[in-house]
């Protein structure tokens, strides 16, 4: 997770140094009840990776700039999200 500009600037610098194209993607779930259900289900299945719901809600996160690709996982299925990302990469969209 890269929650703020300071974190993101480090990755921007790496991309410039290596002369690479960096495309920022913000993956979100705007449906809070669905998001919580996914987190709770993951924990109930014994998967200990990732944060619990209270940790997620206590995080500070600066909204991504408007030129980022935003994928809302509340709407598309995983395959749809992957296809959207691939189309964006192939078309050259995203931050240069």
Write the pLDDT tens digit of every residue in 23-53.
888 888 889 999 999 888 887 777 677 788 8
Question: Is 74 a residue whose pLDDT tops 70?
Answer: yes
Owner of token pair 């909204």:
63
Owner of token pair 């189309």:
87
Alpha carbons 32 and 52: distance in angstroms, whole number: 13
Question: Is 89 a residue whose pLDDT tops 90?
Answer: no
Handedness of CA 38, 45, 61, 83 (dihedral sign): negative
Q: Which residues contact 28 (CB under 8 A, 6 or more apart)?
A: 70, 71, 72, 73
- For the chain, what is the mean pLDDT? 84
């Amino acid at each position: 997770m890269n929650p703020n500009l300071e974190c993101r600037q480090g990755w921007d610098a790496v991309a410039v140094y290596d002369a690479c194209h960096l495309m920022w993607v913000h993956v979100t779930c705007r449906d809070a009840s669905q998001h919580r259900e996914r987190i709770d289900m993951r924990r109930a299945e014994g998967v200990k990776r990732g944060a619990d719901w209270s940790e997620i809600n206590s995080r500070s996160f600066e909204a991504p700039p408007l030129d980022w690709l935003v994928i809302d996982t509340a709407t598309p299925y995983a395959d749809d999200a992957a296809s959207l990302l691939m189309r964006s990469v192939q078309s050259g969209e995203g931050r240069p």
